[in-house]
Amino acid sequence: MCGIVGYTGARPVKDILIEGLTRLEYRGYDSAGIAVEQDGALRVVHCKGKVSGLARLVEPLDLAGTCGIGHTRWATHGRPSEANAHPHTSCDGHVAVVHNGIIENFAELREELEARGHAFSSETDTEVVAHLVEEAYAESRDLLEAVREATERLIGAYAVAVISDQEPGTVVAARKDSPLVVGLADDGAYVASDIIAMIDATRDVAVLADGDFAKLEPSGATFFNVRGEAYEPEVTHVDWDLDVAEKGGYPDFMMKEIHEQPRVIRDTLAGRLVNGALSIDELDLSPEELNLIDRVCVIACGTSYHAGLIAKNLIEGWARSPCEVEAASEFRYRNPIITPSTLVVAVSQSGETADTLAAIRDARVKGAKVFGITNVVGSPVARESDGVIYTKANKEIAVASTKSFLGQVVSLTLLAMLLAQAKGKLKTNQVHLLFHELADTAEQVERILADTAAITQAARACKDASSALFVGRGMGAAIACEGALKLKEISYLHAEAYPAGEMKHGPIALIDEGFPVIAVATKSPVYDKLVSNLQEAKARGAMIVAVATEGDEDIRAHADHVVYIPKVRDAFSAVTASVPLQLVARAIAVERGCDVDQPRNLAKSVTVE
């Protein structure tokens, strides 16, 4: 969602803030701003639009201060505008605040503050924090204490960084249900919502725990728990290289990350087959406990939800255990049936997704074991789950997830195999065979990426359409859902996904001459049924793009464009068939002149409900 960066130390802060905000652009945003403490006053600059526009505003200004905070905003309360851009300041101008999350009781707080004479200059929920800190500071004359008192009034999720010209050189940070990390360096102290914002300056970071505070000064940072007691945090040394945040010669991050998927498959599978049997020690459940699991519930949002749909097919097919896939945003509001014998699997690329975190907490209250699948070490989903598989995708910059999705699919496939192994539904030799076939998909994805000419042709044929229909049957129906989402996200071309057999129950009314129907038509037990559905669409003038299995020449009689992929077991078709759909979506978006890395209105990490 939004991005936070802050610094205090010996270096001029202006460039540190701009560079940090630039590194956070991948999260998605609509405005940006900074506040610098200098010469006994706060200087605030913010604007609607890109960080590059903010940099142009800041460049000619004499901002030589060494303490400041910055922010990129994704609008929740209040439209994207300069007035609503962070940082927000108090009435007296002595306090500046940046904030991620949502303050649910802001309307009530605003009404109270206005009744006491405070004047607001924005429509945001965040501005109440600045005024609350202002009031508390007037009493305590201590910025840390003032922030602590202010946050006690807040209901909802927040990560905040606060500065005041009354305490030069000090940044106070606090968090609840929204991530915040503190960087420790010889030249000062840093705070950010993501490690990448400070990676040039330091690799030593401490994750601020829920309800805790940090006081940053040029000499370092002091950490306090919710009771106000100082403590020594666990410091993590980040060992991934900066080049994961660079394009590496590709035209955009999305293309780079699509090409990284074979490595993600290999890394996610590394060390998972031990003495011929699957090993996922992180699950922290014995085979006997796994055998007692009578139901699996996957909770996720967006792309991760589609990974869950794929997992449902595998868990029910192999382990013969009922599996439900729930949109995390709906899960806790419908009083779901969860028991101690239910395994809840929470899937989140960022590990920050607010809806998924809320669902985890609800499931744990009901006594379920919760297992997380995420890409981010130490993320809230990882910390609040009983066990976790990391997808080994490394940093994903493009907003539309590709390599993280494939990592999730592979991880969920492992989980399905493990459950089947524990329940005796798959024998050791079967698990061994399946594992090696899954590992082979890395090479098969490389083959797909080596020849994309057919994908380019299909994309050019679709680029001027106003809508598209993605179809499949069986596993292909789940894959089609992800294909449609990718196209919507980055090309702004309306797309829907349906099980192919459902076309005649409504969606076929949309089809006229030249209407794109993109089909997952790989060889499977329902291949003949799928072909019949394509004939129905073709008879009504549809332009068919088929993702088909190598060697299938018969499909050419039913499709205008065919993208061939290597033959794999149907259970693993999601790994291979998803890749051409990613490439088709990207190619159409490029043809339409869209920014594939930062699509409009979207954010990489959705940390609000």
- CB-based contact 41:92 (threshold 8 Å): no
For residue 55, the surrounding DSSP H or E stretch is: helix 51-58
Helices (H), 377-510: 380-384, 403-422, 428-450, 453-462, 475-491
- CB-based contact 486:579 (threshold 8 Å): no
Q: Could you tell me the two tokens for 319?
A: 């382990």
The crossing angle, in degrees rounded to 10, of helices 573-591 and 475-491 is 20
The three-state secondary structure class of 344 is strand
Instruction: Show Cβ contacts of residue 415 under 8 Å, excluding neighbours closer than 6 positions.
Output: 280, 283, 311, 315, 345, 371, 373, 389
String of DSSP letters for 183-209: EEETTEEEEESSGGGGTTT-SEEEEPP
Q: Report the distance separating Cα 595 and Cα 490, nearest Å.
A: 7
User: Which of 2, 297, 301, 323 is an active site residue?
Assistant: 2
How remote is the C-alpha of 320 from its chain's centroid? 30
| Residue 403 a catalytic site member | no
| Residue 604 a catalytic site member | yes
Q: Report the distance separating Cα 502 and Cα 512, nearest Å.
A: 17
Q: Could you tell me the two tokens for 155?
A: 């209901």
Q: Say how many C-beta atoms besides its own lie within 10 A of residue 200's C-beta.
A: 12
Instruction: Show Cβ contacts of residue 293 under 8 Å, excluding neighbours closer than 6 positions.
Output: 285, 321, 341, 342, 343, 369, 419
Handedness of CA 274, 279, 284, 287 (dihedral sign): negative
User: Which of 312, 486, 488, 604 is an active site residue?
Assistant: 604
Catalytic residues: 2, 604
